[in-house]
Structure 1
């Protein structure tokens, strides 16, 4: 899965990288501890850069907390799950990031955080998005697509986010027709480097660049 991530690129740099027009309400950066329900930068079809709530709200929820917080969508079932199947067909998005965190446990059950980032090139998560509305309440929400971890990552976690290279962005957004399903695979074995970081990041209130420094 992907439960926390890092984003450090300025909005104008992201907009230039994706050739996207940015909205006016973009999240503050850098953010070394992006948590579920936080606003995140998202690129949608039409190459628009917008802010969305990380945590997908299905259309049938009566309130934003009416059911589980859906921060991830499994690639293996996304096309069939009622919560995601329409979004998978019509509302795919790109979620820029710098790196992400995962956790292992020691013999005493303590959570040990790891920081994972690409060896080179931009990091872009495959995502899906949804507008949820009830009365005057309106939330534009997203989830990160995940898949089974590759062998290198499986030492830390059995799942990993689906990441897309620049030559795959257009297909995922639907700009190059059909075929996005074939992109929902694990990254190559040598795509990421990872290292242990301070348990400080176990708190969703932790801030600062020190969170990604090697322990």
Structure 2
């Protein structure tokens, strides 16, 4: 799964990396992005890519209660093309969720050791995401979820699931493919190669979403 991540790049770097022409309203970096927060995402509006904020935790347009979003921070890519919550979104509401690392907790007996995980050969990247608009009683929400897959060899020692990180040359294809069938989007995700990752231990300080500073990413001192 993916339940926490970071975005520490400055705005100019993000705009250049993803080819965004307009500035990002109220951009703020974060050492500890958590579910329920607004997260930086990129969509394609049919004419151009746009960057803005979506709330992390998908609330489908047909949902009766927005609280469902807390249960839908991730979507399993293996079945997203079949599930009512995600099938329509796989077809035409795909997004990039911008990040530069993510956290995962490795279980060791009764203990869980948090780790920060990054790409080996580049900094900024994008998770494959889905988004939707929910509206009820005059309230509007724009929300998203991160697609996940079975862990690769590197991640298996840490967790059995991992987020889908789009290769740089596949980011636009995920966004700009237009309306395609859910099955086509599913096959696209299955075809992606996984880039090399690296990880290091961080302190349990990161466990609390209230903590959001450099101590979250500081390597844990080894005895």
Same fold (TM over 0.5): yes
Aligned residues: 212
1:63 aligns with 2:62: no
| Structure 2 counterpart SS, 1:184 | helix
Aligned with 2:143 (options 141, 144, 152): 141
Q: Which residue of 2 aligns with 1:164?
A: 166
Q: 1:141 to 1:27 in 2, by over 3 A?
A: farther
* Residue matched to 2:118: 117
- Structure 1 residue 205, shift from structure 2 partner: 0.7
Q: Which residue of 1 aligns with 2:11?
A: 11
Q: Deviations over 1:150-187 (max 9, x none)?
A: 01111000111111122101210134885543342475
Kindly report the root-mean-square deviation, in angstroms, between the aligned alpha carbons of the 2 structures.
1.9
Unaligned runs of 5+ in 1: none
* CA deviation after TM superposition for structure 1 residue 26, in Å: 3.9
| Distance (whole Å) between structure 1 residues aligned to residue 201 and residue 4 of structure 2 | 15
Structural mapping, 1:68-107, within 5 Å: 69-107=71-109
Whole-angstrom distance in 2 between the partners of 1:100 and 1:149 = 14
C-alpha distance in 2 between matches for 1:28 and 1:67: 23
- Counterpart of 2:40 in structure 1 is 41
**CA shift for structure 1 position 17:** 1.3
Q: Is the 8 A contact 2:98 2:125 kept in 1?
A: yes
For residues 143 and 10 of structure 2, what CA distance do their matches in structure 1 show? 21
Shift of 1:104: 1.8
Looking at structure 2, the residues matched to 52 and 162 of structure 1 have their Cα atoms a distance apart, in angstroms, of 18
Alignment match, 2:200: 195
The answer to whether the Cα contact below 8 Å between 2:35 and 2:70 also exists between their aligned partners in 1 is no
Is contact 1:26–1:50 with CA below 8 Å preserved after alignment?
no
Flag structure 2 segments of 5+ consecutive residues without an equivalent: none
User: Which region of structure 1 is more displaced relative to structure 2, 32-41 or 98-107?
Assistant: 98-107
2:189 to 159, 163, 184: 184
